[in-house]
Amino acid sequence: MLELHSITWIWPFMLWGLCALPLIVLLYIFLVRRSKQKHASLNTPWTDSYVSKGAVRSWLSRHGFTLVMALGIGVLLLAMARPRAILLLPSRMETVMLAIDSSGSMRASDVQPSRIEAAQTAARLFVNGQPSHVKLGIVSVAGTAAVVQAPTETRDDLMKAIDNLPLQRGSALGSGIVISLAAMLPASGINVDQLINPEMRPEQNPALTPNKSNQPIVPKIKLEPGANSSAAIVLMTDGQSNIGPDFIKMAQVAADLGVRIYTIGFGTPEGVILKAQGMAMRVKLDEAPLKQVAEITRGEYFRAASEKDMERIYQSLSMRIVMQKHQMSEVTALFMLVGMLLVTLGGAWSIWRHGRLV
């Protein structure tokens, strides 16, 4: 898909060639008038049969092919300037990590039958809908984050991991992002230990000081957000992160690696009263950080409040993960193809209608 607003020119000086188009039109008008004069001198009713069919139809019949050919020549002249534009291309996704919040607040029932069961249902839908070549992994996020299923193409193993997610106290969403990145990008060069445990960080510049394994805390080479088209994270949560590294800062680490994070919020803004161990507290969906994380990483935020929402999210998310790669490319060949087709169409029209090319 071509984004017309992004068209630029490698050789813009060649656009002066468009000045030849009015000259071609003037030459055609001159030839038409000379032909009329010739027929008039021979008393040949050159235009009567056309005029009787209506002015517009008559004009199109006599000159429509010229308009098409002129348009084709104009496109060919544009091609001489070597146009380029941003193209939306299909990308081959290789690895997707599903980071699923398994904290106690996910027991809330403002999404039926519960937030965690709704998240598991959405995860199953997503897994079943992915192409067979895509590797999927599962990360459980509670007081700590852990890989419960390493990236694999085996769907049965993924289903078992989704079904057996244990609910625990705490919600370390920042840790979930770091663990997901480490699982799908083992060569990324991030220091997982020092990101998850900030107290281990030395006093010097953390981005330049290696740990014992000679890994920098954050990648030395930063990519544009969303530039990595082969990996993505889908984070399913109610948005309440209360332990571990800063959620937003860890999203920036993902952005520096070019990894998009698609966030799905389970719950309602008003929340419900959740009782546990003799205590009661209101647990709400916190959408603000989820939207911010999606924006930072060039992903997208979705809200799941019902089964219908989950079906819509699944379809929309699958489409975005498979078909989202913007690339600036030269499209000269495309312009030449369109121009040649128009010129050929105009020429064929002229021969069919008048028995001659012009």
| Domains of the chain, earliest start first | 2-87+328-354 (no CATH), 95-322 (3.40.50.410)
5-14, 16-25, 42-51, 264-273: range with lowest mean pLDDT: 42-51
What is the per-residue pLDDT across 46-72, written as a single tens digit (0 to 9) for each? 444 444 445 545 555 566 677 788 888
pLDDT band per the 50, 70, 90 thresholds, residue 209: very low
91 vs 326: CA distance, rounded Å: 9
Residue range 108-114: mean pLDDT, rounded: 89
* The most confident of 5-14, 165-174, 214-223, by mean pLDDT: 165-174
More confident residue, 77 or 316: 77
Tell which residue, 296, 299, 289, 300, has the closest CA to residue 241. Answer: 289
Burial class (CB in 10 A: 0-12, 13-18, 19+), 144: middle
What is the C-alpha radius of gyration for the chain, rounded to an integer number of angstroms? 31
Residue range 239-249: mean pLDDT, rounded: 89
| pTM flag (> 0.75) | no
Tell which residue, 111, 101, 141, 107, has the closest CA to residue 274. Answer: 107
159-163, 198-202, 316-320, 338-342: range with lowest mean pLDDT: 198-202
Residue 279, token pair as written in the block: 């205590």
pLDDT for residue 273: 87
